[in-house]
A and B are shown apart, each in its own frame.
Chain A
Protein backbone atom coordinates (compact mmCIF):
# COMPACT_ATOMS: atom_id res chain seq x y z
CA UNK A 1 0.00 0.00 0.00
CA UNK A 2 2.77 2.40 0.82
CA UNK A 3 4.20 1.94 -2.63
CA UNK A 4 1.50 4.38 -3.65
CA UNK A 5 3.57 6.95 -1.83
CA UNK A 6 6.15 6.94 -4.58
CA UNK A 7 4.02 9.66 -6.14
CA UNK A 8 6.99 11.86 -5.27
CA UNK A 9 7.57 15.54 -4.70
CA UNK A 10 6.33 15.70 -1.14
CA UNK A 11 9.60 17.13 0.26
CA UNK A 12 8.55 20.52 -1.10
CA UNK A 13 6.16 21.01 1.80
CA UNK A 14 8.96 20.96 4.33
CA UNK A 15 11.05 23.46 2.36
CA UNK A 16 7.99 25.72 2.08
CA UNK A 17 7.44 25.52 5.85
CA UNK A 18 11.06 26.47 6.46
CA UNK A 19 10.86 29.48 4.18
CA UNK A 20 7.59 30.77 5.66
CA UNK A 21 8.96 30.56 9.18
CA UNK A 22 12.24 32.23 8.22
CA UNK A 23 10.37 35.04 6.46
CA UNK A 24 8.19 35.93 9.44
CA UNK A 25 10.93 37.65 11.53
CA UNK A 26 11.74 39.79 8.48
CA UNK A 27 8.10 40.80 8.26
CA UNK A 28 7.33 41.62 11.88
CA UNK A 29 10.75 42.88 12.93
CA UNK A 30 13.38 41.36 15.22
CA UNK A 31 11.82 42.32 18.54
CA UNK A 32 12.13 39.05 20.47
CA UNK A 33 9.18 39.56 22.81
CA UNK A 34 6.77 40.08 19.96
CA UNK A 35 8.16 37.12 18.02
CA UNK A 36 7.82 34.79 20.98
CA UNK A 37 4.22 35.93 21.38
CA UNK A 38 3.18 35.03 17.84
CA UNK A 39 5.51 32.04 17.40
CA UNK A 40 2.98 29.23 18.16
CA UNK A 41 0.43 30.67 15.76
CA UNK A 42 2.95 31.31 13.00
CA UNK A 43 4.40 27.81 13.26
CA UNK A 44 0.98 26.25 13.13
CA UNK A 45 -0.16 28.31 10.16
CA UNK A 46 3.11 27.55 8.40
CA UNK A 47 2.66 23.83 8.96
CA UNK A 48 -0.93 24.01 7.77
CA UNK A 49 -0.04 25.81 4.53
CA UNK A 50 2.85 23.45 3.89
CA UNK A 51 0.44 20.55 4.32
CA UNK A 52 -1.93 22.15 1.81
CA UNK A 53 0.74 22.27 -0.91
CA UNK A 54 0.87 18.55 -1.53
CA UNK A 55 -2.82 17.75 -1.04
CA UNK A 56 -3.86 17.93 -4.68
CA UNK A 57 -1.35 15.21 -5.52
CA UNK A 58 -3.05 12.65 -3.28
CA UNK A 59 -5.45 11.39 -5.95
CA UNK A 60 -4.76 13.60 -9.00
CA UNK A 61 -1.59 11.76 -10.05
CA UNK A 62 -3.35 8.41 -9.87
CA UNK A 63 -6.22 9.78 -11.88
CA UNK A 64 -3.92 11.10 -14.59
CA UNK A 65 -2.12 7.82 -15.17
CA UNK A 66 -5.25 5.71 -14.83
CA UNK A 67 -4.17 3.96 -11.63
CA UNK A 68 -7.19 5.29 -9.75
CA UNK A 69 -9.61 3.33 -11.95
CA UNK A 70 -7.59 0.19 -11.34
CA UNK A 71 -7.34 0.82 -7.60
CA UNK A 72 -11.10 1.28 -7.40
CA UNK A 73 -11.70 -2.06 -9.13
CA UNK A 74 -9.09 -3.81 -6.95
CA UNK A 75 -10.26 -6.00 -4.06
CA UNK A 76 -9.48 -3.24 -1.58
CA UNK A 77 -12.28 -1.24 0.03
CA UNK A 78 -12.15 2.34 -1.17
CA UNK A 79 -12.23 3.46 2.45
CA UNK A 80 -9.01 1.57 3.10
CA UNK A 81 -7.47 3.20 0.03
CA UNK A 82 -8.33 6.64 1.42
CA UNK A 83 -6.87 5.71 4.80
CA UNK A 84 -3.68 4.42 3.19
CA UNK A 85 -3.39 7.56 1.08
CA UNK A 86 -3.93 9.77 4.13
CA UNK A 87 -1.33 7.83 6.08
CA UNK A 88 1.14 8.13 3.22
CA UNK A 89 0.49 11.86 3.02
CA UNK A 90 0.99 12.22 6.75
CA UNK A 91 4.22 10.22 6.75
CA UNK A 92 5.67 12.31 3.95
CA UNK A 93 4.34 15.71 5.03
CA UNK A 94 2.90 15.79 8.55
CA UNK A 95 5.61 13.81 10.30
CA UNK A 96 8.58 15.78 8.86
CA UNK A 97 6.75 18.99 9.80
CA UNK A 98 6.31 17.76 13.39
CA UNK A 99 10.01 16.98 13.63
CA UNK A 100 11.16 20.24 12.06
CA UNK A 101 8.81 22.56 13.94
CA UNK A 102 10.58 22.56 17.35
CA UNK A 103 13.88 23.41 15.67
CA UNK A 104 12.23 26.22 13.74
CA UNK A 105 10.71 27.42 17.02
CA UNK A 106 14.19 28.51 18.03
CA UNK A 107 14.24 30.88 15.06
CA UNK A 108 11.11 32.53 16.42
CA UNK A 109 12.39 32.70 19.99
CA UNK A 110 9.77 30.23 21.24
CA UNK A 111 10.13 29.62 25.00
CA UNK A 112 11.39 26.20 26.25
CA UNK A 113 8.37 24.09 27.22
CA UNK A 114 6.75 25.50 24.11
CA UNK A 115 8.92 23.33 21.85
CA UNK A 116 7.64 20.20 23.47
CA UNK A 117 3.99 21.24 23.33
CA UNK A 118 4.33 22.46 19.76
CA UNK A 119 5.64 19.03 18.82
CA UNK A 120 2.86 17.24 20.71
CA UNK A 121 0.12 19.43 19.26
CA UNK A 122 1.42 18.96 15.71
CA UNK A 123 1.76 15.23 16.25
CA UNK A 124 -1.88 14.99 17.31
CA UNK A 125 -3.22 17.59 14.90
CA UNK A 126 -1.49 16.88 11.57
CA UNK A 127 -3.19 13.51 10.96
CA UNK A 128 -6.47 15.43 10.89
CA UNK A 129 -4.96 17.81 8.31
CA UNK A 130 -4.05 14.85 6.08
CA UNK A 131 -7.47 13.22 6.48
CA UNK A 132 -9.39 16.42 5.76
CA UNK A 133 -7.06 17.02 2.84
CA UNK A 134 -7.68 13.56 1.41
CA UNK A 135 -11.41 14.24 1.61
CA UNK A 136 -10.96 17.55 -0.22
CA UNK A 137 -8.73 15.89 -2.81
CA UNK A 138 -11.36 13.19 -3.37
CA UNK A 139 -14.02 15.87 -3.90
CA UNK A 140 -11.98 17.75 -6.49
CA UNK A 141 -10.20 14.87 -8.21
CA UNK A 142 -12.04 15.12 -11.50
CA UNK A 143 -11.66 18.86 -11.93
CA UNK A 144 -9.11 20.73 -13.97
CA UNK A 145 -7.35 23.33 -11.86
CA UNK A 146 -8.92 21.64 -8.84
CA UNK A 147 -6.04 22.76 -6.62
CA UNK A 148 -7.45 26.23 -6.02
CA UNK A 149 -10.92 24.93 -5.24
CA UNK A 150 -9.34 22.34 -2.99
CA UNK A 151 -7.64 25.04 -0.90
CA UNK A 152 -10.85 27.00 -0.58
CA UNK A 153 -12.77 23.88 0.47
CA UNK A 154 -10.21 22.57 2.88
CA UNK A 155 -8.97 25.69 4.69
CA UNK A 156 -12.24 26.40 6.55
CA UNK A 157 -12.28 22.76 7.68
CA UNK A 158 -8.81 23.24 9.10
CA UNK A 159 -10.03 25.93 11.53
CA UNK A 160 -10.79 23.68 14.55
CA UNK A 161 -7.45 21.89 14.28
CA UNK A 162 -5.56 25.17 13.93
CA UNK A 163 -7.48 26.75 16.79
CA UNK A 164 -6.83 23.96 19.28
CA UNK A 165 -3.32 23.20 18.03
CA UNK A 166 -2.05 26.75 18.31
CA UNK A 167 -3.80 27.11 21.67
CA UNK A 168 -1.94 24.08 23.05
CA UNK A 169 1.38 25.47 21.88
CA UNK A 170 0.57 28.92 23.35
CA UNK A 171 -0.61 27.57 26.68
CA UNK A 172 2.34 25.21 26.88
CA UNK A 173 4.75 28.06 26.30
CA UNK A 174 3.15 30.11 29.09
CA UNK A 175 3.10 27.15 31.44
CA UNK A 176 -0.69 26.85 31.67
CA UNK A 177 -2.70 23.62 31.79
CA UNK A 178 -3.18 22.07 28.36
CA UNK A 179 -5.20 18.95 29.19
CA UNK A 180 -8.61 20.13 28.02
CA UNK A 181 -7.42 21.57 24.72
CA UNK A 182 -5.31 18.49 24.10
CA UNK A 183 -8.42 16.34 24.54
CA UNK A 184 -10.39 18.57 22.16
CA UNK A 185 -7.66 18.39 19.50
CA UNK A 186 -7.53 14.62 19.90
CA UNK A 187 -11.29 14.51 19.51
CA UNK A 188 -11.11 16.46 16.23
CA UNK A 189 -8.51 14.06 14.85
CA UNK A 190 -10.37 10.95 15.95
CA UNK A 191 -13.62 12.34 14.57
CA UNK A 192 -11.93 12.92 11.21
CA UNK A 193 -10.51 9.40 11.31
CA UNK A 194 -13.94 7.91 11.95
CA UNK A 195 -15.94 9.84 9.36
CA UNK A 196 -13.77 11.15 6.55
CA UNK A 197 -12.55 7.89 4.95
CA UNK A 198 -16.18 7.03 4.24
CA UNK A 199 -17.00 10.52 3.00
CA UNK A 200 -13.91 10.58 0.78
CA UNK A 201 -14.66 7.13 -0.64
CA UNK A 202 -18.20 8.25 -1.50
CA UNK A 203 -16.81 11.39 -3.16
CA UNK A 204 -14.38 9.29 -5.22
CA UNK A 205 -17.16 7.00 -6.41
CA UNK A 206 -19.23 9.96 -7.57
CA UNK A 207 -16.26 11.59 -9.28
CA UNK A 208 -15.31 8.49 -11.25
CA UNK A 209 -18.64 8.20 -13.01
Chain B
Protein backbone atom coordinates (compact mmCIF):
# COMPACT_ATOMS: atom_id res chain seq x y z
CA UNK B 1 0.00 0.00 0.00
CA UNK B 2 1.47 3.34 -0.96
CA UNK B 3 0.53 6.87 0.02
CA UNK B 4 -0.53 9.25 -2.69
CA UNK B 5 -1.31 12.92 -2.16
CA UNK B 6 -2.60 15.17 -4.96
CA UNK B 7 -3.01 18.96 -4.97
CA UNK B 8 -3.60 18.99 -1.25
CA UNK B 9 -4.47 22.21 0.55
CA UNK B 10 -4.51 22.02 4.32
CA UNK B 11 -5.54 24.72 6.73
CA UNK B 12 -6.02 25.59 10.33
CA UNK B 13 -9.10 27.46 11.52
CA UNK B 14 -10.34 27.98 7.95
CA UNK B 15 -7.06 29.62 6.83
CA UNK B 16 -4.95 27.66 4.34
CA UNK B 17 -1.47 26.89 5.68
CA UNK B 18 0.03 24.71 2.97
CA UNK B 19 -1.09 24.49 -0.65
CA UNK B 20 -0.21 22.60 -3.80
CA UNK B 21 1.17 19.51 -2.09
CA UNK B 22 1.59 16.45 -4.28
CA UNK B 23 3.77 13.49 -3.35
CA UNK B 24 3.92 9.71 -3.35
CA UNK B 25 5.49 7.40 -0.80
CA UNK B 26 6.07 3.78 -1.83
CA UNK B 27 5.92 0.85 0.60
CA UNK B 28 9.15 0.48 2.57
CA UNK B 29 9.98 4.15 2.29
CA UNK B 30 10.00 7.06 4.66
CA UNK B 31 9.17 10.67 4.00
CA UNK B 32 10.80 13.25 6.25
CA UNK B 33 8.95 16.55 6.55
CA UNK B 34 11.04 19.61 7.20
CA UNK B 35 10.25 23.26 7.61
CA UNK B 36 10.49 26.03 10.20
CA UNK B 37 8.19 26.22 13.22
CA UNK B 38 4.66 27.08 12.21
CA UNK B 39 5.18 26.01 8.61
CA UNK B 40 2.26 23.58 8.79
CA UNK B 41 3.91 20.20 9.34
CA UNK B 42 1.53 19.30 12.18
CA UNK B 43 -1.50 20.47 10.20
CA UNK B 44 -0.41 18.32 7.26
CA UNK B 45 0.04 15.25 9.47
CA UNK B 46 -3.31 15.77 11.19
CA UNK B 47 -4.98 16.02 7.79
CA UNK B 48 -3.31 12.83 6.57
CA UNK B 49 -4.45 11.07 9.78
CA UNK B 50 -8.03 12.15 9.15
CA UNK B 51 -8.33 14.36 12.22
CA UNK B 52 -9.32 17.28 10.02
CA UNK B 53 -10.62 17.36 6.44
CA UNK B 54 -8.42 18.68 3.62
CA UNK B 55 -9.50 22.06 2.26
CA UNK B 56 -9.08 20.61 -1.21
CA UNK B 57 -7.18 17.83 -2.95
CA UNK B 58 -7.08 14.12 -2.25
CA UNK B 59 -5.26 11.78 0.10
CA UNK B 60 -5.11 8.03 -0.46
CA UNK B 61 -5.41 5.66 1.31
CA UNK B 62 -8.06 6.59 3.82
CA UNK B 63 -7.14 7.22 7.47
CA UNK B 64 -8.13 3.70 8.49
CA UNK B 65 -4.64 2.47 7.69
CA UNK B 66 -2.77 5.37 9.30
CA UNK B 67 -1.45 5.48 12.84
CA UNK B 68 -0.94 8.99 14.18
CA UNK B 69 1.69 9.90 16.76
CA UNK B 70 1.25 13.36 18.20
CA UNK B 71 3.20 15.74 20.45
CA UNK B 72 1.22 14.43 23.39
CA UNK B 73 1.30 10.73 24.05
CA UNK B 74 -2.25 10.24 25.31
CA UNK B 75 -1.20 7.95 28.12
CA UNK B 76 -3.18 7.83 31.34
CA UNK B 77 -1.16 8.76 34.42
CA UNK B 78 -3.29 6.59 36.69
CA UNK B 79 -2.53 3.42 34.72
CA UNK B 80 0.75 1.56 34.63
CA UNK B 81 2.93 1.39 31.54
CA UNK B 82 1.71 -2.11 30.76
CA UNK B 83 -1.97 -1.27 31.34
CA UNK B 84 -1.71 1.72 29.01
CA UNK B 85 -0.25 -0.40 26.23
CA UNK B 86 -2.73 -3.19 26.89
CA UNK B 87 -5.59 -0.72 26.49
CA UNK B 88 -4.40 0.54 23.10
CA UNK B 89 -3.57 -2.97 21.94
CA UNK B 90 -7.09 -4.10 22.86
CA UNK B 91 -8.59 -1.14 21.03
CA UNK B 92 -6.70 -2.08 17.88
CA UNK B 93 -7.55 -5.76 18.24
CA UNK B 94 -4.04 -6.88 19.22
CA UNK B 95 -4.81 -7.44 22.91
CA UNK B 96 -4.04 -11.15 22.85
CA UNK B 97 -0.64 -12.66 22.21
CA UNK B 98 2.72 -11.13 22.90
CA UNK B 99 2.29 -7.87 20.99
CA UNK B 100 2.44 -5.79 24.17
CA UNK B 101 5.62 -7.40 25.51
CA UNK B 102 7.30 -7.08 22.12
CA UNK B 103 6.39 -3.38 22.00
CA UNK B 104 7.82 -2.91 25.50
CA UNK B 105 11.06 -4.65 24.51
CA UNK B 106 11.72 -2.23 21.66
CA UNK B 107 12.13 0.67 24.07
CA UNK B 108 13.36 -1.40 27.02
CA UNK B 109 10.19 -0.63 28.99
CA UNK B 110 10.07 -4.04 30.71
CA UNK B 111 11.73 -2.60 33.81
CA UNK B 112 9.03 0.10 33.98
CA UNK B 113 6.06 -2.17 33.23
CA UNK B 114 4.43 -1.71 36.65
CA UNK B 115 5.28 1.97 37.04
CA UNK B 116 2.38 4.42 36.88
CA UNK B 117 2.62 6.52 33.75
CA UNK B 118 2.39 9.72 35.79
CA UNK B 119 5.70 8.83 37.49
CA UNK B 120 7.60 8.53 34.22
CA UNK B 121 10.11 11.13 33.08
CA UNK B 122 9.40 13.01 29.86
CA UNK B 123 11.71 10.74 27.87
CA UNK B 124 10.27 7.56 29.38
CA UNK B 125 6.77 8.82 28.61
CA UNK B 126 7.80 9.46 25.04
CA UNK B 127 9.13 5.90 24.74
CA UNK B 128 5.79 4.63 26.01
CA UNK B 129 3.95 6.77 23.47
CA UNK B 130 6.13 5.51 20.62
CA UNK B 131 5.80 1.88 21.72
CA UNK B 132 2.06 2.31 21.19
CA UNK B 133 2.67 2.61 17.44
CA UNK B 134 3.69 -1.04 17.34
CA UNK B 135 0.28 -1.95 18.73
CA UNK B 136 -1.80 -0.22 16.10
CA UNK B 137 -1.00 -2.82 13.46
CA UNK B 138 -1.30 -0.12 10.82
CA UNK B 139 1.02 0.10 7.82
CA UNK B 140 1.37 3.89 7.66
CA UNK B 141 2.80 5.92 10.53
CA UNK B 142 2.37 9.71 10.65
CA UNK B 143 4.66 11.00 13.38
CA UNK B 144 4.99 14.52 14.68
CA UNK B 145 8.38 15.29 16.24
CA UNK B 146 8.74 11.76 17.62
CA UNK B 147 12.22 12.23 19.08
CA UNK B 148 11.46 15.17 21.38
CA UNK B 149 12.95 14.49 24.85
CA UNK B 150 14.56 11.21 23.74
CA UNK B 151 18.25 10.70 24.53
CA UNK B 152 20.73 9.52 21.88
CA UNK B 153 20.36 5.84 22.79
CA UNK B 154 16.58 5.88 22.55
CA UNK B 155 16.64 7.96 19.40
CA UNK B 156 18.69 5.11 17.97
CA UNK B 157 16.13 2.57 19.21
CA UNK B 158 13.38 4.63 17.60
CA UNK B 159 15.24 4.78 14.29
CA UNK B 160 15.65 1.00 14.51
CA UNK B 161 11.95 0.55 15.13
CA UNK B 162 11.06 2.67 12.10
CA UNK B 163 13.62 0.79 9.98
CA UNK B 164 12.04 -2.55 10.98
CA UNK B 165 8.64 -1.13 10.14
CA UNK B 166 9.86 -0.05 6.70
CA UNK B 167 11.45 -3.41 6.04
CA UNK B 168 8.09 -5.12 6.49
CA UNK B 169 6.62 -2.88 3.77
CA UNK B 170 5.40 -0.13 6.05
CA UNK B 171 5.50 3.61 5.42
CA UNK B 172 6.55 6.38 7.77
CA UNK B 173 5.89 10.09 7.33
CA UNK B 174 7.85 11.90 9.99
CA UNK B 175 8.17 15.57 10.86
CA UNK B 176 11.54 15.95 12.51
CA UNK B 177 14.51 18.28 12.69
CA UNK B 178 17.15 15.65 13.32
CA UNK B 179 18.72 13.14 10.98
CA UNK B 180 17.43 9.66 11.75
CA UNK B 181 19.52 7.97 9.08
CA UNK B 182 16.47 6.54 7.34
CA UNK B 183 16.33 5.79 3.67
CA UNK B 184 13.73 8.02 2.14
CA UNK B 185 12.92 11.36 0.64
CA UNK B 186 12.88 14.70 2.37
CA UNK B 187 10.03 17.09 1.73
CA UNK B 188 10.65 20.69 2.70
CA UNK B 189 7.21 22.24 3.10
CA UNK B 190 8.50 25.83 3.03
CA UNK B 191 7.87 26.41 -0.73
CA UNK B 192 4.29 25.20 -0.28
CA UNK B 193 3.29 27.75 2.34
CA UNK B 194 0.00 29.34 1.37
CA UNK B 195 0.57 32.90 0.30
CA UNK B 196 -1.72 35.90 0.32
CA UNK B 197 -2.43 35.33 -3.34
CA UNK B 198 -3.87 31.91 -2.63
CA UNK B 199 -5.85 33.32 0.28
CA UNK B 200 -7.54 35.72 -2.14
CA UNK B 201 -8.27 32.97 -4.64
CA UNK B 202 -10.10 30.93 -2.02
Say if the beta carbon of A23 comes within 8 Å of chain B: no
Q: Report A71-120 residues with CB < 8 Å from chain B CB.
A: 71-76
**A84, B49: Cα distance in complex, Å:** 23
Which one of B52, B78, B88 lies within 8 Å of A70 (CB-CB)?
Answer: B88
Say if the beta carbon of A19 comes within 8 Å of chain B: no
Of the listed stretches A29-37, A60-68, A166-174, chain B binds A60-68
Say if the beta carbon of B91 comes within 8 Å of chain A: yes
Q: Distance in Å from the Cβ of A37 to the closest Cβ of chain B? A: 44
Contact A67 B68 (CB under 8 A): no
Say if the beta carbon of A144 comes within 8 Å of chain B: no
Contact A6 B76 (CB under 8 A): yes
Say if the beta carbon of A145 comes within 8 Å of chain B: no
A3-B51 contact, Cβ under 8 Å, with A65-B73, A66-B73:
no
CB-defined contacts of A6 to chain B, threshold 8 Å: 76, 78-79
Q: Distance in Å from the Cβ of A30 to the closest Cβ of chain B? A: 43
Contact A65 B74 (CB under 8 A): yes
Q: Report B100-157 residues with CB < 8 Å from chain A CB.
A: 132, 136
Say if the beta carbon of B96 comes within 8 Å of chain A: no
CB-defined contacts of A67 to chain B, threshold 8 Å: 74-76
At the interface, is chain A mostly helix, strand, loop or mixed? helix
Contact B91 A66 (CB under 8 A): no
Contact A65 B76 (CB under 8 A): yes
Interface residues on chain A, size class? 20 to 34
Contact A66 B87 (CB under 8 A): no
Contact A73 B83 (CB under 8 A): no
**A209, B50: Cα distance in complex, Å:** 10
A209-B76 contact, Cβ under 8 Å, with A75-B64, A75-B93:
no
Say if the beta carbon of B35 comes within 8 Å of chain A: no
In chain B, what residue has the closest Cβ to A3?
B87
Contact B72 A75 (CB under 8 A): no
A75-B92 contact, Cβ under 8 Å, with A3-B87, A6-B79:
yes
Which one of A8, A64, A65, A208 lies within 8 Å of B51 (CB-CB)?
Answer: A208
**A68, B75: Cα distance in complex, Å:** 10
CB-defined contacts of A75 to chain B, threshold 8 Å: 64, 91-93
Contact B79 A3 (CB under 8 A): yes
Say if the beta carbon of B66 comes within 8 Å of chain A: yes
Q: Distance in Å from the Cβ of A143 to the closest Cβ of chain B? A: 14
Contact B68 A70 (CB under 8 A): yes
A209-B79 contact, Cβ under 8 Å, with A69-B70, A73-B68:
no
Which of A7, A68, A74 neighbours the largest number of chain B CB atoms within 10 Å of its CB? A74
CB-defined contacts of B88 to chain A, threshold 8 Å: 70, 74
Residue numbers of B with Cβ under 8 A of A are 46, 49-53, 63-64, 66-68, 70-79, 83, 87-88, 91-93, 132, 136
Residue numbers of A with Cβ under 8 A of B are 1, 3-4, 6-8, 62, 64-76, 208-209
Of the A-B pairs whose beta carbons lie under 8 Å apart in the complex, a sample of 8, sorted by A's number, is A7-B76, A65-B72, A66-B74, A68-B74, A69-B74, A72-B51, A74-B88, A208-B52
- Which 6 residue pairs are nearest across A and B when measured between Cβ atoms? A66-B72, A67-B74, A66-B74, A209-B52, A70-B74, A3-B87
